[in-house]
């Protein structure tokens, strides 16, 4: 029998046509967050046929287990998200979205199919030689919304007995056949902030007789990002970016109400736990001279994805084993949010970036309706996930 990693790779290759067809099917029938019913049914049917024990604790998404029947058995989890985005698919492939206004513009069709491919290969290996522990597959709904599917699955016991977890995410800036890995923070926390100012209102000819709300709002907009960069450790990588601002309707009227809203992103988990308090404190300090009051609505989103060193080394060794020394590249940090970080709050784990760009081809962007991926990436992702799981189980605690 081949070495486990080689066996798994060979089995993934054997499923290539099936996985390609499935990925195209899922891409053509995208489903928004919490609506992934058809996708769930497809995965359940195939996993049960392959011998996985499938649990459907909610209407969308699923948890599947293989091996690990003994007491005190090591269990490793692999996670793939399933939901699509509310954007139009503007590609011209035969398998373009058939659902108006909905598309797999973040590659979750690839994530789902790669995870299934890993599951099929691991089931074949388990039949040949029992796995040295248990593998759990988490097909997660609703990654694209907050609160998302990670917390939901965790509340249903998805991480019970799990000692380590791995996941992948498409990267259209990396060529197919390569994988981006990184120890430490990979993505940032992503929070939402709205600052609402209130005052008495007045005439623009007499700003000294009223609270100049628009001026105060401008101060919040420009000074909060700057002051936070001095009040928080700069190594935390904090970023405040505004997406909307609203105040007033007339040129000569100082309004009584106004607001500004945006996102707060930060790469450091410890700093994330402090930033809300600091934001509220700084807003109060900024508006103090201007005779207005502030109400800050601060919504914590997702924590940073922070890859622990041991999980990173397992992934790195796996990628080099499957793709060669040049198969692993250092992944750049991103200020995007990803709810895989919630799993890592409970167990160690690592996420890798799956190269999906055709060498020499165009570079697309995520969350855009023209996203196209090189379908060979599905097999690469499946091989890395499956082999990383087996390597984890084979190593001593």
Residues placed in the known binding site for Mn(2+): 106, 108, 144, 169, 367
Long-range contacts of residues 308-311, Cβ cutoff 8 Å, at least 24 apart: 308/183, 308/344, 308/348, 308/349, 308/350, 309/183, 310/164, 310/348, 311/164, 311/166, 311/348, 311/349, 311/350
SS3 for the chain is: CCCHHHHHHHHHHHCHHHHHHHHHHHHHCCCCCCCCHHHHHHHHHHHHHHCCEEECCCCCCEEEEEECCCCCCCEEEEEEECCCECCCCCCCCCCCCCCCCCECCCCHHHHHHHHHHHHHHHHHHHHHCCCCCEEEEEEECCCCCCCCHHHHHHHCCCCCCEEEEEEEEEEEEEECCCEEECCEEEECEEEEEEEEEECCCEECCCHHHCCCHHHHHHHHHHHHHHHHHHHCCHHHCCEEEEEEEEECCCCCEECCEEEEEEEEEECCHHHHHHHHHHHHHHHHHHHHHHCCEEEEEEEEEECCEEECHHHHHHHHHHHHHHHCHHHEEECCCECCCCCHHHHHCCCCEEEEEEEEECCCCCCCCCCCCCCCCCCHHHHHHHHHHHHHHHHHHHCCC
Annotated binding residues? 106, 108, 144, 169, 367
Tokens read off for 174: 């990396």
Structure tokens at 175: 């060529």
What element of type H or E holds 25? helix 16-28
Tokens of 69: 């029947």
CB 151, CB 342: distance < 8 Å: yes
Estimate to the nearest angstrom the gap between the alpha carbon of 319 and the chain centroid: 21
DSSP annotation of 366: T
């Amino acid at each position: 029998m081949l070495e486990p990693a080689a066996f798994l790779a060979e089995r993934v290759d054997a499923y290539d046509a099936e996985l390609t067809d499935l990925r195209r099917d899922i891409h053509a029938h995208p489903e928004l967050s919490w609506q992934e019913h058809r996708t769930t049914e497809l995965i359940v049917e195939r996993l049960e046929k392959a011998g996985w024990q499938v649990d459907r604790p909610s209407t969308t998404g699923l948890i599947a287990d293989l091996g690990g029947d003994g007491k005190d058995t090591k269990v490793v989890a692999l996670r793939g998200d399933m939901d699509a985005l509310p954007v139009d698919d503007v590609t011209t492939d035969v398998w373009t979205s058939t659902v108006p206004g909905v598309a797999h513009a973040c590659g979750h069709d690839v994530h789902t199919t790669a995870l299934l491919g890993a599951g099929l290969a691991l089931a074949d290996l388990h039949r040949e030689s029992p796995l040295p522990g248990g593998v759990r597959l988490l097909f997660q709904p609703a990654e694209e919304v907050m609160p998302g599917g990670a917390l939901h699955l965790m509340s249903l016991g998805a991480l019970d007995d799990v000692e380590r977890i791995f996941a992948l995410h498409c990267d259209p800036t990396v060529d197919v056949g390569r994988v981006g890995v990184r120890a430490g923070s990979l993505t940032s926390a992503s929070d939402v902030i709205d600052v609402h100012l209130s005052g008495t209102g007045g005439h623009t000819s007499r700003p000294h007789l009223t609270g100049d709300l628009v001026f105060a709002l401008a101060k919040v907009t420009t000074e909060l990002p700057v002051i936070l960069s001095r009040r928080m450790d700069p190594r935390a990588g904090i970023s405040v970016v505004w997406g909307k601002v609203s105040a007033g309707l007339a040129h000569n009227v100082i309004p009584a109400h106004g607001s500004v809203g945006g996102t707060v992103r930060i790469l450091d988990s410890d700093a994330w736990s402090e930033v809300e308090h600091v934001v509220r404190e700084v807003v109060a300090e900024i508006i103090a001279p201007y005779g207005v009051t502030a109400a800050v609505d601060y919504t914590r989103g997702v924590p940073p994805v922070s890859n622990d060193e041991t999980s990173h080394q397992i992934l790195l060794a796996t990628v080099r084993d499957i793709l060669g020394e040049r198969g692993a590249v250092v992944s750049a940090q991103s200020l995007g949010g990803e709810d895989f970080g919630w799993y890592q709050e409970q167990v160690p784990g690592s996420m890798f970036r799956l190269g999906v760009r055709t060498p020499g081809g165009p570079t697309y962007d995520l969350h855009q309706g023209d996203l196209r991926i090189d379908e060979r990436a599905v097999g690469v992702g499946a091989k890395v996930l499956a082999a990383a799981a087996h390597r984890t189980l084979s190593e001593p605690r």
